[in-house]
Amino acid sequence: MRIVRYDGPDLTRLAFHGELDLATADRVQEQVAAALAAGPPRRLVLDVSALTFCDSSGIDALLNARACARARGVACQVVGAHGIVRRSMAATGVLALLTAG
């Protein structure tokens, strides 16, 4: 999985490309921790539009990212979920939670 980071005023966007699964989930936490440590933004956007797969480990990583951000007072939202990624989030009941603005 490749992660591209975009920083703007009050916003950090992490764009995930490829597969988010057990083998790559720890990279989400690393990138989120780095974004929050560098003078946390007001908003963290996790862009999953380029993911081709996301298993339960990936969903857990996204939930943990949201929890870490919220604990620092940072709004966090997953955007771009479609296909198998969206279906996985819907099937596990977290789609609305993760995509809420």
In order of their start, the domains of the chain are 2-99 (3.30.750.24)
18 contacts 48 by C-beta, under 8 angstroms: no
Sheet holding 2-8, edge to edge: 2-8, 11-20, 43-54, 75-79
In this predicted structure, what is the pLDDT of residue 81?
97
- Rounded CA-CA distance 97/44 in Å is 15
Per-residue pLDDT of the chain (101 residues; tens, 9 = 90+): 999 999 988 999 999 999 999 999 999 999 999 999 978 899 999 999 999 999 999 999 999 999 999 999 999 999 999 999 999 999 999 999 999 97
pTM to 2 decimal places = 0.94
